[in-house]
Amino acid sequence: MLVSRKLAYFLLPGILLLAGAAVAQEIATAKKDNAVKVQMRNVRYHFTDQVTVYISALRGELIPIGENDFPVFDDRNSFRLRISGGEIAIGAESLANVLNSYVFSGQSSPLKSISIAIEKGKLKVKGKLRKGDIPFETEGSVSATPDGKIRLHSDKIKALHLPAKGLMELFGIEMSDFIKTGKVAGVQAEKEDLILDPQKILPPPHIEGPITAIRLEGGNIVQIFGTPPNHSEEKANAGNYMAYRGNRLRFGKLTMNDADMTLLDMDPKDPFDFYLDHYKEQLAAGYTKITLSFGLRVFMKDFDKLGRNARAQQKAPTTR
C-alpha cells in the first residue's frame, strides 16, 4: 500500500500535466471549429487612423481568441484573421506609421522618427538611432523569407550622412546591435537585414499566414499570402465586398447563427473603404436586404465618403 501511494505521488503531477494539455488542445480545437470563413475583394481596410492596407483579394477565416467563443465585430481583439490565400498591399507611409506608432514606440526602442519611400524599385528607410540621436538612412530591396516573413535588405547604409560601414567599424556598431533579437516584438536583425513579422507588427485584428512572395509596386509593398485566390472563382461575387460564412458572428446587438453576411460597397467604382472601428456609421448610411434563406446583404457607404459628423468621430479615442 505504501509503494502504491508513493507511486501515485510521483505520477500524479504528470497525469495532471497531461490532462491539462489535453484540455488545452480541446479548447484550441474548439476555437478553430468556431471559425467564420471570410472572403474579400477590392477593399481598402483601415486598421487605425494612420494604418491602412489595400486588399485586392483574400480568403481565410476569423478565428475567435481569448474567452470569445465567436468573432465579435465590435471587439477587434476578439478574433484574428487567418489568411489561406490573398494579396495585400501596404503603402510606404502606412508601414512607417506602423513602425513609429507600434513597433518602435517605446522609449527603450533603438530607432525612432522613421520614414519610408519607394524609389526606382528600391525601399528607402530614414530615421534616427534613439541613442545619440544619430540620423541614418538605408536603401535596399524587399523579399519574403523561407518562413513567410518580410526581409528588408540594405544595400547601402549611411549614418550622419556618411557611408556607415566605416562609421560602424569605428564605433563597433552593427545592425544587429540596433535591434537585438527578441527586444522588439515582430522585428529581428540579421547582419544588415531587418526581418518583419506581419503577424506581430500590425495592430489588431492580428493576421496570420505565410507570405510566399513580395514585390514593390508604385508606392506600395505588395504581399502574397499562401496561394493567391483564383479570380475566375470570384466572378459570381461581382463588385467590392467582404463575405462571412458559417458558425456564429456577432455585430452590435445581433448574433448570427450559421453566418451568411456580405458587406457590399454602395459605390463599386472605387475600392470599398472600410473601417471596423466605425462600421456602425457606415452601416447607418446604407441599407440592408434579407435573402430567402435569411442571409444578410448589407450595402455600406465608403468610410471616406461619410458626412462631416460621422468623419469627425474618426478622431475619437478607440479601445485597443
pLDDT tens column, 41-62: 999 999 999 999 999 999 999 9
| Domain definitions of the chain by residue range | 30-87+224-315, 93-199+213-222
Range 24-31 contact pairs with CB under 8 angstroms and sequence separation of 24 or more: 31/63, 31/64, 31/65
Number of H helices, E strands in the chain: 7, 20
pLDDT of residue 179: 61
Could you tell me how many residues make up the chain? 320
Beta strands in 161-318 (DSSP E): 162-163, 187-190, 193-196, 207-208, 211-217, 220-226, 241-245, 249-251, 254-256, 260-265, 272-275, 287-290, 296-300
pLDDT at 6 over 60: no
**pLDDT confidence bin for 12, thresholds 50/70/90:** very low
pLDDT of residue 137: 87
**pLDDT confidence bin for 2, thresholds 50/70/90:** very low
SS3 sequence of 110-123? CEEEEEEEEECCEE
pLDDT at 141 over 90: yes
Q: 318: which 3 cell numbers? A: 478607440
**pLDDT confidence bin for 204, thresholds 50/70/90:** very high
pLDDT tens column, 65-105: 999 999 999 999 999 999 999 999 999 999 999 999 988 88
pLDDT of residue 166: 42
CA dihedral 80, 241, 38, 150 (to 10 degrees): -50
* Averaged pLDDT for residues 130-141: 85
What's this model's pTM, rounded to 2 decimal places? 0.81
Beta strands in 130-235 (DSSP E): 134-144, 150-159, 162-163, 187-190, 193-196, 207-208, 211-217, 220-226
Chain CA centroid to CA 229, Å? 18
pLDDT tens column, 235-266: 555 689 999 999 999 999 999 999 999 999 99
Pairing between strand 134-144 and 122-129? antiparallel
pLDDT of residue 316: 41
Cβ 298 vs Cβ 286: under 8 Å? yes
pLDDT of residue 8: 43
Instruction: Measure the CA–CA gap between 262 and 38, rounded to whole angstroms.
Output: 9
pLDDT of residue 186: 85
CA dihedral 47, 179, 219, 94 (to 10 degrees): 20
**pLDDT confidence bin for 164, thresholds 50/70/90:** low
